[in-house]
Amino acid sequence: YKTIRLILGDQLNASHSWFKNIDEDCLYIVAEMQQETGYVKHHIQKVCAFFHAMESFAKALNKAGHNCLHLTLDDTEKFSTFNDLIAYLVKKYSAACFQYQLPDEYRLRNHFAEFHAPAVEVSSCSTEHFFLPEEDFPKYFTANKHNRMESFYRKMRKRFDVLMDDGQPEGGQWNFDQKNRNKFKAEDLKDIPEPLLFSNDVNGILKRLKKHKVQTIGRSESNLLWPTSRKQAKELLEYFCQHCLPRFGYFQDAMTCQSQHKWSLYHSRLSFALNAKLISPRQVIDKTVEAYRANDDIDIAQVEGFVRQILGWREFVRGIYWTHPEYHQKNYFNADRKLPDYFWTGNTKMRCLSEAINQSLDYAFAHHIQRLMVTGNFCLLTEVDPDEVDDWYLGIYVDAIEWVELPNTRGMSQFADGGIIATKPYAASANYVHKMSDYCSNCDYSHTDKVGETACPLNSLYWRFIDRNADKLSQNPRMGMIYNVWNKKDEDEKEAILNKAASVLRRIEEL
Ligand code: FAD
């Protein structure tokens, strides 16, 4: 072969221009690597999803007439890095060129930048997946200053002409969030759709993971429920448009422990398919807008809420990631606690935490508000080291890849960036959890008490967070009211709350 082209596990874009023509002189490589299974402890379903999707992609390429070599962990075990493997392959096939698509994370970009082999021409190209080309980041993002998602999103709507009506936002507003903050009432629960689950046989992959002693977290079955091909991704999108989109925005922030097997509520669960690039953000948006136009049951608030996640948040965090190479070192509150053990077992009396963690262990999935306002909020209030928090999020979720995980975890949820993404920390007492879920009414702790044996730990921890970080936050215009409330409390009450918080932290493993 004259050329070797590498396809990474999150580069499964069948519409890439590489695949327009068949080139007999080109060999595509799809490879399971220990380097990728080991950089963090991943959820077992996440590894299975990537490996199964890679295998399906390689098969589809061969079927379409391309030459694609699919290498399993068995084939690659003697290569500790991609570059070692590529060096071996270019030599074996006497290739004159090595080409790759630019990885979405620093770790692999830096790795491939170091590749060299005698007389081999190396080149890279775009993954052709995202809306915003990388060259345009400087026009939209400023390093180390607060970047507003809302203004970015409006520019994206205009530039890519999504839900626009003669230069104005369709429906007359850019944002319908005020309609989108509803809790489930008892009568809503029966209407929650069953999630569409796939049944991909991953027995062979599970055996390989065992054989190669790959360390994982979470629970697995031999049938993987995640979509691992473009066909399945499209089916999931179709299902979402029909069953979930009509109520997507409305219940976007709601949480419940009464849904059991309907655990993904009205969410799309498309994040894995999107991040592995089985499906493109353009396809997803076009399909949802088309469904909105064709279906009177879907109002603008639902479709706008969804478009905002993909065209807004997803593209926004990517820009933040690439304009902040130092982001992974940020630790605004100097948090340094270890993550409690129940993050790996789900074994805690706090109902909100146990629901979010157990669901994550069972399905490698939790929805946005569970990630932000349950596990994320808990870590923020208990001062967990953001490195520990990042590793947990990067490992546990099926959709977790650093470019999207890092800004969400370190920035949005931990405010460790000091306000590059968010205008204030997403810190909350039990009041918020109670407002958006039925967790508190099914919990041993009392969501109204701040002190006392059964008081919800979040309440005293919340005030400790406010008190402790006054120098960093009290001047924030969005926090003024909270500081007024705190400052008006009498000293005895403050002391009792802070004592309670200190005792909660001393017993953090027993909550
Ligand atoms: P839906 O609710 O159906 O939303 C549709 C799509 O919008 C998602 O598939 C996703 O592609 C996109 N989206 C929504 N919110 C965001 C966001 N904040 N940032 C980027 N894209 C978004 N998402 C990941 O893809 N990978 C991660 O590693 C990840 N880590 C997160 C960590 C924390 C602490 C938080 C608060 C959020 C994180 N998110 C991450 C964002 C979001 O929680 C998931 O994208 C979402 O839960 C996936 O489920 P879904 O496909 O059903 O999403």
Provide φ and ψ at 321, rounded to 5°.
Answer: -55, -50
Cα 54 to Cα 69: distance, rounded to the nearest angstrom: 11
Q: So what's the pLDDT on residue 425? A: 97
CB neighbour list of residue 501: distance below 8 Å, 6 or more residues apart: 460, 461, 463, 464
Place of tokens 């999630």: 195
ipTM above 0.90, yes or no: yes
Cα 60 to Cα 14: distance, rounded to the nearest angstrom: 9
Q: So what's the pLDDT on residue 179? A: 77
Provide φ and ψ at 188, rounded to 5°.
Answer: -80, -25
- Domain ranges in the chain with CATH number 1.10.579.10: 342-510
Check pocket membership of 313 for ligand 1, CB cut-off 6 A.
yes
Q: Is the distance from CB of 451 to CB of 423 less than 8 angstroms?
A: no
Tokens of residue 450, six digits:
């701040």
Cα 36 to Cα 50: distance, rounded to the nearest angstrom: 10
Check pocket membership of 278 for ligand 1, CB cut-off 6 A.
no
Q: Is the distance from CB of 411 to CB of 144 less than 8 angstroms?
A: no
The burial of 94, by beta-carbon neighbours within 10 Å (0-12 exposed, 13-18 middle, 19 or more buried), is given as exposed
- Looking at the domain 134-323, which fold is it? 1.25.40
Q: Which atom of ligand 1 is nearest to the CA of 268?
A: 3
Which 3 state secondary structure label does DSSP give 69? Answer: strand
Q: So what's the pLDDT on residue 227? A: 98
DSSP H helical ranges for 350-490: 351-363, 368-369, 377-381, 386-396, 402-406, 430-436, 457-468, 470-473, 480-488
Tokens of residue 118, six digits:
């005698």
Q: Which atom of ligand 1 is nearest to the CA of 372?
A: 36
Single-letter amino acid, residue 133: P
How do the pLDDT tens digits run along the chain, 511 residues long? 999 999 999 999 999 999 999 999 999 999 999 999 999 999 999 999 999 999 999 999 999 999 999 999 999 999 999 999 999 999 999 999 999 999 999 999 999 999 999 899 999 999 999 999 999 999 999 999 999 999 999 999 999 999 999 999 999 999 998 777 899 998 999 999 999 999 999 999 999 999 999 999 999 888 999 999 999 999 999 999 999 999 999 999 999 997 777 899 999 999 999 999 999 999 999 999 999 999 999 999 999 999 999 999 999 999 999 999 999 999 999 999 999 999 999 999 999 999 999 999 999 999 999 999 999 999 999 999 999 999 999 999 999 999 999 999 999 999 999 999 999 999 999 999 999 999 999 999 999 999 999 999 999 999 999 999 999 999 999 999 999 999 999 999 999 999 999 999 999 999 9
Which pTM was predicted?
0.97
Strand locations in 130-190, DSSP E? Answer: 164-165, 168-169
How many secondary structure helices (H) and strands (E) does the chain include?
A: 24, 11
Does domain 342-510 correspond to CATH entry 1.50.10.10? no
Check pocket membership of 271 for ligand 1, CB cut-off 6 A.
yes
Return the CA Rg of the chain: 24
Q: Which atom of ligand 1 is nearest to the CA of 401?
A: 28
- Cα(368) to centroid of ligand 1, in Å? 6
Q: Which atom of ligand 1 is nearest to the CA of 270?
A: 51
Q: What is the CATH number of domain 3-125?
A: 3.40.50.620
- Cα(271) to centroid of ligand 1, in Å? 6
Q: Is the distance from CB of 66 to CB of 28 less than 8 angstroms?
A: yes
Q: Is the distance from CB of 279 to CB of 226 less than 8 angstroms?
A: no
Check pocket membership of 183 for ligand 1, CB cut-off 6 A.
no
Q: Is the distance from CB of 301 to CB of 250 less than 8 angstroms?
A: yes
Cα 54 to Cα 31: distance, rounded to the nearest angstrom: 8
383: left (phi over 0), alpha (psi -120 to 50) or beta: left
Cα 115 to Cα 111: distance, rounded to the nearest angstrom: 7
Check pocket membership of 317 for ligand 1, CB cut-off 6 A.
yes
Nearest by Cα to 467 from 439, 448, 491, 443: 491
Q: Is the distance from CB of 427 to CB of 380 less than 8 angstroms?
A: yes
Q: What is the DSSP letter of 131?
A: S
Cα 494 to Cα 39: distance, rounded to the nearest angstrom: 44
Q: So what's the pLDDT on residue 307? A: 97
Check pocket membership of 35 for ligand 1, CB cut-off 6 A.
no
Which 3 state secondary structure label does DSSP give 42? Answer: strand
Q: So what's the pLDDT on residue 492? A: 97
Cα 188 to Cα 455: distance, rounded to the nearest angstrom: 29
- Domain ranges in the chain with CATH number 1.25.40.80: 134-323
Q: So what's the pLDDT on residue 16? A: 98
- Domain ranges in the chain with CATH number 3.40.50.620: 3-125
Cα 200 to Cα 10: distance, rounded to the nearest angstrom: 18
Cα 177 to Cα 403: distance, rounded to the nearest angstrom: 26
Check pocket membership of 361 for ligand 1, CB cut-off 6 A.
no
- H/E stretch holding 26: strand 26-31
Check pocket membership of 397 for ligand 1, CB cut-off 6 A.
yes
Provide φ and ψ at 408, rounded to 5°.
Answer: -70, -45
Q: Is the distance from CB of 162 to CB of 285 less than 8 angstroms?
A: yes
Nearest by Cα to 82 from 49, 43, 134, 122: 122
Q: 125-160 b/e with 16+ CB inside 10 Å = b? A: eebebbbbeeeebeebbeeeeebebeebbeebbeeb
